[in-house]
Chains A and B, each alone.
Chain A
Amino acid sequence: QVQLVESGGGVVHLGRSLRLSCAASGFTFRNHGMHWVRQAPGKGLEWVSFIWNDGSDKYYVDSVKGRFTISRDNSKNILYLQMDSLLVEDTAVYYCARDRSVQYSDFWGQGTLVTVSS
């Protein structure tokens, strides 16, 4: 069965960096684009970033452009999100999700909490 397991979250000070990982299993990882979606405490979902199945193209929501970098290692079935220059407003649960034909996300991980303290 499809499994996505995020890790790497924690408490980090304003302006510092953090790298999230998403370990995928149960499907052919290299065949799927992948997303990061976040949810601030008590708030709604916000799409953050998307990467093509081969890692050739990457896209970001305006609020994280220049600060976050999505990447993947298809040999290890792992998706990453490098988050630099973190802001308090980046505090959220970060989910990875599997893309289906650029139309929707069909499976989601359980999320990892990132807390940026001032």
Chain B
Amino acid sequence: QSALTQPRSVSESPGQSVTISCTGTSSDVDNYNYVSWYQQHPGKAPKLMIYDVTQRPPGVPDRFSGSKSGNTASLTISGLQAEDEAAYYCCSYAGSYTWVFGGGTKLTVL
């Protein structure tokens, strides 16, 4: 039950694109297509942005997209906007009804 690995911080200018990686193992990310991504603004509850690796819930802009290759999942945000500045967490099903989160990535929109 080790945490997934994410970069601690990323930054990019408005209008640009940024990709956040999430590296796991053969027991979680590589073994299941159940990777989800959550956005969290300071003092707020996490919000689901991507589920099942690539799926967007209703209401999430199509600027947000997800992908996976092997044991690494990625969240890409294109056309960055000021309101995208937040912490982003990946999560993967890890089998036997357990889940594991990444350590979180702080996105700064310059």
A binding-site residues for B, Cβ under 8 Å: 35, 37, 44-47, 50, 57, 59, 61-62, 95, 97, 100, 102-111
Contacts and interface: CB of A to CB of B under 8 A. Distances in A.
Q: Is the interface of A mostly helix, strand, loop or mixed?
A: strand
Contacts, number: 65
B interface residue count range (under 10 / 10 to 19 / 20 to 34 / 35 or more): 20 to 34
Interface of B: 1, 3, 34, 36, 38, 40, 44-48, 51-52, 57, 89, 91, 93, 96-104
A102 B45 contact: no
Given A44-B89, A104-B34, A104-B52, A110 B45 contact: yes
16 contacts: A44-B89, A44-B101, A45-B40, A45-B101, A59-B96, A62-B1, A95-B45, A97-B46, A100-B51, A102-B34, A102-B93, A104-B51, A107-B48, A108-B46, A109-B45, A111-B45
Given A47-B100, A61-B98, A110-B45, 11 more contacts: A45-B89, A47-B91, A47-B98, A59-B98, A97-B46, A103-B36, A103-B51, A104-B36, A104-B52, A106-B48, A111-B45
